[in-house]
Structure 1
Amino acid sequence: MSPIRTDTAVPPAAPADAEPRPLEDAVDRRVHQVPLDDLLPADSPRTGGEDTGHAQALAACGDPLPPLLVHRATMRVIDGTHRLLAARMRRQPTVAVRFFDGSAEDAFVLAVESNTLHGLPLTLADRTAAAARILVSHPRWSDRAVAARTGLAPATVGALRRRTAPAPEDTTHRVGRDGRVRPLSTAEGRRAAARLIAEDPGASLRAIAERTGLSPGTVRDVRRRTVVGEDPVPPRQRAAERRATAGAGQRAASGGPPGDLDTLVRNLCQDPALRLSDAGRLLLRMLDVQVAGSRRRQQILAAVPAHRAATVAAAAAACASAWQELATGMRSRSGSGSGSGDGDA
């Protein structure tokens, strides 16, 4: 099953995690009948799991279930977990789905937005946790862009960003809700404006603003500062630059944050070499199940009755051994020089 498909003062083209168009545009509007066993559990923003009572009510109503939204590359449910449970309760062999053709990161964003707009409402804790994850996967999205997807206030997203989100590689620009790229700091633009003013003191504020990406008001402030001999960048901005530089140096010295399982799997899901082969898709599904299981480990432990604990432990150990053998084989291939590697390690 194949997926379908500077000058530092001048804002660059929109980065890869911009939102140049609504994510819904990547949804295939055709409805397909898919075997239930082909679908993976949702990467759900609901931290408390599914509501079995709601699924039972859907199953009992007798009406045809609306199509599920499914990520085509991984066959993971994006929107419709309770409908999927209801279909299983009805013992349906297939279920109606529409496919989303986009990245795994965008699929999660769409899942959050879908669950915010309809169905069982997400709790504040669910939406906050989802926003924290989106800030990591789409670090250059503005606070308003993330807030629009999660149903939170922009100020809440901003506070969450300051508390939890790691700094993106490009900390000079951010993508707004309209998809436009804007500078986070005007420091470099101010310095560029000061150079232009020195070269051509008679240039208009608007002409300099257009060349530097600043507002005419900011250019006016730069001109005032240069006239009285002050630094074109205010003291507070210079202090923030020093802190950012020191933080970047510390991250580089420590080798950066380690890759967690969720991040690694999302990275692999974007590789066409895996998505376009049967064995590759099988591997992605296996890894997706591991990610889902790791998030709900405590619930799984609580669900296993005591008389089955030893058997589950033996099965888990056997699975761990099989994964270890696979890891050993992958390391052997990587070290032999026959593979190309990920290319971004």
Structure 2
Amino acid sequence: MPFDVDGPVTTVAVSDVRGGHSPRQGGESLEHVQTLADTIGELPPIIVRRDDMRVVDGMHRLRAARLRGDERIAARYFEGGDEEAFVLAVRTNVTHGLPLSLTDRKAAAARIIASHTHWSDRMIATVAGLSAATVARIRRSRPESAPEVRLGNDGKLRPVNGLERRRVARAILMTEPDLSLREVARRAGISPETARSVRRKLAEAGPAPSPDPAALVMRLRSDPTLRFSETGRALLRLLEARSVSPEKWAAIAANVPPHWRDTVARMAIECSDAWRGFAETLLAPGNTKAG
């Protein structure tokens, strides 16, 4: 876990230590301060940031030391920025001392999501003492855009939506089966090994049965997000041509006048290229936003 403090314990003057950015929204508990002040012997070391002597962890102990009239207090130094100090403050207050309230932990998770967007839900959950599902809900409620990858507890970077990227790779391989694994991986934003796994599963599954185009268009027409928008209706009209049966296409081709066949063929190829470009746009990584 980042931001561990492994330095030696030293003592610092109580008067030199300043308050920090506590994750406790309601401030310190006076009752807990009094309990610590009544404790016999030295208090456990606090953590202070070396640059400005602000408390990272141990405000209750600092206030107890002042209440007791102590001139010095045991401490460990931390070196890092404000957000790193906050993460450490949250983690240490979750694992020992007076526990953070659920409200404090959720607020802390929201701040960490904003400052460490690339961290995985599970990693933030470990820091904040929450479940990964709770962190995911907090993340979804925030307006910030999601990163392409997130850092996990094991230190590895992974795509935010691995299943979506596998789906993109599958679509690429279905349309261009002879494409190299390296190129598939590049287009889909996955590793070549993952691309190899997708190709192997495609081979094991065998050819999928062709869906009924007319039935698919009918299903699309039942979706109000398409039916009640101008662009949706335009798409449905374009797809109706795709729902023509092979037999009807053959009949249409047979009735194209000979002197127009080359022109119509070129137009059909241009339409095919346009549809392929449209398909690639739909399947591009990150193009998953709903309207």
TM range (shorter): 0.5 to 0.7
1:198 matched residue in structure 2: 178
- Equivalent of residue 156 in structure 1, options 127, 131, 134: 134
- Equivalent of residue 109 in structure 2, options 123, 127, 131: 131
Cα distance between partner residues in 1 of 2:35 and 2:46:
17
TM-score, normalised on structure 2? 0.62
Offset, 1:32: 2.1
Cα distance between partner residues in 2 of 1:229 and 1:104:
57
Cα distance between partner residues in 1 of 2:287 and 2:189:
22
- Equivalent of residue 161 in structure 2, options 185, 193, 205: 185
- Kindly tell me: are residues 154 and 210 of structure 1, through their superposed partners in 2, closer, same or farther at Cα, counting changes over 3 Å? closer
May I ask how many residue pairs the two structures share in their alignment?
Answer: 217
1:343 matched residue in structure 2: none
Cα distance between partner residues in 2 of 1:107 and 1:73:
12
Offset, 1:53: 1.4
Matches within 5 A, 1:1-345: 21-24=1-4, 27-164=5-142, 166-167=144-145, 171-186=147-162, 190-191=168-169, 194=173, 197-200=177-180, 211-212=191-192, 214=194, 217-220=197-200, 241-243=287-289
Asked if 2 retains the 8 angstrom alpha-carbon contact of 1:131 and 1:157, the reply is: yes
- Kindly tell me: are residues 137 and 226 of structure 1, through their superposed partners in 2, closer, same or farther at Cα, counting changes over 3 Å? farther
Indicate the SS of the match to 2:287. helix
Offset, 1:216: 5.1
Q: Which piece of structure 1 moves more, 140-149 or 28-37? A: 28-37
Indicate the SS of the match to 2:136. helix
Offset, 1:75: 1.7
Asked if 1 retains the 8 angstrom alpha-carbon contact of 2:165 and 2:189, the reply is: no
Asked if 2 retains the 8 angstrom alpha-carbon contact of 1:209 and 1:215, the reply is: no
Asked if 2 retains the 8 angstrom alpha-carbon contact of 1:132 and 1:165, the reply is: no
Cα distance between partner residues in 2 of 1:36 and 1:237:
60
Cα distance between partner residues in 2 of 1:37 and 1:185:
50
Question: Which structure 1 segments of 5+ residues have no match?
Answer: 1-20, 247-345
Cα distance between partner residues in 2 of 1:183 and 1:225:
27
Asked if 2 retains the 8 angstrom alpha-carbon contact of 1:209 and 1:216, the reply is: no
Indicate the SS of the match to 1:29. coil
Q: Which letter does structure 2 place at the counterpart of 1:123?
A: S
- The CA RMSD over aligned residues, in Å, is 3.9
Cα distance between partner residues in 2 of 1:235 and 1:209:
14
Q: String of CA shifts for 1:26-70, please: whole Å, max 9, x gaps.
A: x24312221223222121111111111111121122311111111
- Kindly tell me: are residues 178 and 107 of structure 1, through their superposed partners in 2, closer, same or farther at Cα, counting changes over 3 Å? same
Asked if 1 retains the 8 angstrom alpha-carbon contact of 2:169 and 2:198, the reply is: no
Offset, 1:211: 4.3
TM-score, normalised on structure 1? 0.53
Give % identity. 38
Ranked by relative contact order (alpha carbons within 8 Å, sequence separation 6 or more), the top structure is: 1
Q: Which letter does structure 1 place at the counterpart of 2:155?
A: G
- Kindly tell me: are residues 103 and 212 of structure 1, through their superposed partners in 2, closer, same or farther at Cα, counting changes over 3 Å? farther
Question: Which structure 2 segments of 5+ residues have no match?
Answer: 212-275
Q: String of CA shifts for 1:243-290, please: whole Å, max 9, x gaps.
A: 28x8xxxxxxxxxxxxxxxxxxxxxxxxxxxxxxxxxxxxxxxxxxxx
Q: String of CA shifts for 1:185-237, please: whole Å, max 9, x gaps.
A: 35566359639843359xxx9xx998436365544567779988998x89997
